């Protein structure tokens, strides 16, 4: 019995366990609030509506349709994972990349002109899109490194610059812009710029948007995990994030690390655009606000406990809930109910790190009390 108690006690002390517990609480509170809203709208259908949001696969009676839908959800999760990693990398280095939406937008310009307009090979388009987004992110990095301009402020301002730049350039390009729908043309699976399926479309019942992109994002997750876990660069980035001045005093080049962090972060935001547009399930639409995915990436990164593996699950969860929300309109519910759920989860995810810190302090307090009691017993 004591061994079991000791096992669970040691398990609860692990950082990964704290992350899972706090993230699950955030998700649970958001879902409960969503269910309460469903009850107020239509109490009779609330339970079925909640089942549709959480278990949206069950709506399809045909197993092949379920598999196809599952593949679609996975493909739509890939861009959000990339954006979450973008936020994670910058945060580990002590920066907050609120300019990720702008970096995404700049990558869209490159993808549209080279992929849609010129039909270049997908891998060349992908690399150049990531480089362009990385270079744009470094503007904010340079302002931070040399003029100590807060990266949050510069990132937000650059978001709007990138948005209107993208809208202006693309909407005036006839070979890229579909004026009938106020959006760019969608990259078809017959295009050179389309990310190949490598046979995964057959695994997921012929869903053409499932392909190499899903494999690429898992490789990127592994690379980011190794970067922070096993490499000198990752250690220096974390050291800069924990205390930039102390790291600088210890011989770690703070300015260099700011550029590395913003460069990698921007490239990952560009990859999110690649996995959205070059997979063929979305296009750039004329809008008056920066892409939502940049802000969803923040919530997913924090809900995943700022861990590369964690963001896989948090990103999938957010996409799953969002997709499920679009299926409850037949029950008289608005799809915005799912948005409310995710919004609450997004809001609460900001407290994940805070709750983990509270739990850590509670553990220290318990340890001190235990030591005090042992000393008193010895006396």
Residue ranges of domains in the chain = 17-359
By CB atoms closer than 10 A (0-12, 13-18, 19+), residue 41 is middle
184 pLDDT higher than 90: yes
Crossing angle of the two packed helices 100-110 and 63-92, in degrees rounded to 10: 120
Please compute the mean of the pLDDT values over residues 355-377 and round it to a whole number: 68
Backbone φ, ψ for residue 95 (5° rounding)? -120, 155
1 pLDDT higher than 60: no
Q: In this structure, are residues 18 and 356 in contact, taking their beta carbons and an 8 Å threshold? A: yes
pLDDT of amino acid 9: 61
- CB neighbourhood size of 215 (10 A): 13
pLDDT of amino acid 3: 61
213 pLDDT higher than 80: yes
132 pLDDT higher than 90: yes
pLDDT of amino acid 267: 98
109 pLDDT higher than 60: yes
Please compute the mean of the pLDDT values over residues 252-270 and round it to a whole number: 96
334 Cβ contact partners less than 8 Å away, ≥ 6 residues apart: 41
8 pLDDT higher than 60: no
pLDDT digit string, tens, across residues 308-360 = 999 999 999 889 888 877 777 766 777 777 777 777 776 776 666 666 666 66
Question: Going along 90-198, which residue ranges are E strands?
Answer: 177-178, 183-184
- What's the CA gap between 312 and 320, in Å, rounded? 12
pLDDT of amino acid 99: 97
pLDDT of amino acid 207: 87
pLDDT of amino acid 206: 86
pLDDT digit string, tens, across residues 55-86 = 777 677 788 888 888 999 999 999 999 999 99
Predicted confidence band at 26 (pLDDT cuts at 50, 70, 90)? Answer: confident
Higher pLDDT, 334 or 103: 103
How many residues make up the chain in this entry? 379
Domain over 17-359 is classified CATH 1.10.3470: yes
7 pLDDT higher than 60: no
């Amino acid at each position: 019995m004591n061994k079991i108690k000791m096992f669970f006690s040691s398990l609860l002390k692990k950082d990964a366990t704290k992350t899972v517990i706090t993230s699950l609480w955030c998700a649970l509170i958001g879902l409960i609030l969503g269910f309460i809203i469903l009850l107020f709208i239509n109490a009779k259908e609330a339970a079925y509506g909640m089942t549709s949001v959480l278990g949206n696969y069950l709506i399809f009676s045909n197993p092949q349709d379920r598999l196809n839908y599952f593949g679609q959800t996975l493909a739509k999760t890939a861009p959000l994972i990339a954006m979450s990693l973008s936020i994670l990398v910058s945060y580990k280095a002590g920066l907050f990349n609120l300019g990720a939406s702008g970096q995404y937008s700049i990558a869209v310009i490159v993808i549209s002109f080279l992929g849609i307009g010129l039909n270049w090979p997908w891998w060349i388009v992908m690399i150049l899109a990531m480089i362009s987004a990385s270079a744009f992110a470094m503007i904010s990095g340079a302002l931070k490194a040399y003029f100590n301009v807060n990266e949050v402020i510069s990132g937000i301002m650059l978001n709007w610059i990138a948005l209107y730049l993208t809208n202006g350039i693309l909407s005036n390009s006839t070979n890229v812009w579909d004026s009938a729908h106020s959006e760019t043309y969608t990259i078809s699976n017959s295009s050179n710029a389309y990310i190949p399926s490598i046979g995964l479309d057959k695994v997921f019942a012929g869903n053409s948007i499932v392909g190499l992109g899903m494999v690429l994002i898992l490789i990127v997750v592994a690379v980011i995990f190794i970067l922070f876990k096993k490499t000198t660069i990752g250690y220096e980035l974390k050291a800069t994030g924990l205390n930039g001045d102390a790291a600088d005093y210890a011989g770690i080049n703070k300015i260099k690390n700011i550029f590395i962090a913003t460069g990698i972060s921007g490239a990952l935001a560009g990859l999110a655009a690649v996995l959205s547009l070059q997979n063929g399930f979305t296009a750039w639409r004329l809008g008056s606000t920066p892409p939502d995915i940049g802000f969803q990436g923040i919530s997913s990164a924090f809900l995943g406990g700022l861990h590369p593996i964690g963001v896989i699950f948090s990103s999938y969860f957010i996409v799953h809930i969002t997709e499920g929300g679009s299926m409850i309109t037949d029950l008289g519910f608005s799809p915005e109910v799912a948005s409310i759920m995710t919004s609450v989860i997004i809001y609460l995810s900001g407290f994940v790190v805070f709750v983990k810190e509270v739990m850590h302090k509670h553990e220290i307090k318990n340890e001190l009390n235990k030591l005090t009691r042992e000393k008193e017993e010895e006396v």
